[in-house]
Structure 1
Amino acid sequence: MPRRRPHELRVRRSDAKKEPGLPRGSARLVSALARLERNGIASVAAALRTWRAEAQSRVDDRCPCGCNDMYFGHDARSELESAMRALPPRLARELRSMVVPLDELYWASTVPDPFASPSASWWRRRMASS
């Protein structure tokens, strides 16, 4: 069986480290997120992709029945929040710098939900503007 050359192995190893969904981020952040995921927090990269899709979607794209069903995005934002709280301050700030622009987009495209519980997180107290 032929042996792989060292540079071929390095290329494959570097491709494996790149997590889709993290637009930018230090190696420390990627390492800390991997550690969190091993300890039970869901995939932060997947949550970031879902929250990005929710924040960038138009009102017409959210739900075909018109029921303002945004729970997948809400769950993703909750996962991001729990990850930011579990990370050390410096790494949480780095992740927050990726989430805040999406939060601003979401805030701009939604309106307050008058029937939401006041104790709910801010993203759960918003609904699609019609």
Structure 2
Amino acid sequence: MPPWVVADIHRVEARELRPGQVGRAVRDLRQYARDSHRVGSAASLGCPCCEPGTRWTLEVALQALPPRSRVALRALLRPFDDEIRRKTLPDPTAPPDSPWWERRVAY
């Protein structure tokens, strides 16, 4: 990531998350993308009712980042999100207004 993106992420972590939380979430998402076919549900990526999980943490960061940094972080996450979508199926029982990662199940 360019230094200006990292600086913006540090500012977001200081205000809305914890130091290092975005980096850990990116690593966890990468690992989940590799193993998502083995997991029973993508809901393990986090839910707003509980402790925010991996994908929720990243969504908080994305929403709080300035536009240019948001684009850079989304570009980093896109291959992992695409892999999770490829390895999972839509959950017909999930609420339609839930984030996409909560509407996926392993097949």
- Shared fold (TM-score greater than 0.5)? yes
TM-score calculated relative to the size of structure 2: 0.84
Structure 1: gaps (5+ residues):
1-24, 63-67
Instruction: Find out whether 1:77 has 2:55 as its counterpart.
Output: yes
Which secondary structure state, in structure 2, belongs to the residue aligned with residue 117 of structure 1? Answer: coil
Unaligned runs of 5+ in 2: 47-52
* Larger RCO: 1 or 2 (CA < 8 Å, sep 6+): 2
Give me the TM-score of the superposition, normalised by structure 1: 0.70
**Residue 115 of structure 1 is aligned with which of 78, 90, 93?**
93
Deviations 1:75-107 (A, max 9, x none): 211111111111111110000110011110000
Q: Does structure 2 conserve the Cα–Cα contact (< 8 Å) formed by 1:51 and 1:77? A: yes
Residue 31 (structure 1) aligns with: 7
- Specify the alignment match of 1:13 in structure 2: none
CA gap of 1:111–1:69, structure 2 versus 1, over 3 A, is closer
- Distance in 2 between residues matched to 1:44 and 1:100, nearest whole Å: 15
Percent of residue pairs bearing the same amino acid type: 32
- Residue 15 of structure 1 is matched in structure 2 by none
The change in CA–CA distance for 1:125 and 1:69 in structure 2 (over 3 A counts) is: closer
The aligned length equals 99
Q: Which residue of 2 aligns with 1:86?
A: 64
SS at match of 1:127: strand
Alignment-derived partner of residue 103 in structure 1: 81
Instruction: Provide the aligned C-alpha RMSD in A.
Output: 1.4
Measure, in 1, the Cα distance between the counterparts of 2:23 and 2:105: 24
Helix, strand or coil at the partner of 2:89: strand
Asked which structure has the greater CA Rg, the reply is 1
- Decide which structure has greater helix share: 2
Q: Which structure 1 residue ranges, 4+ long, deviate > 6 Å from structure 2?
A: none
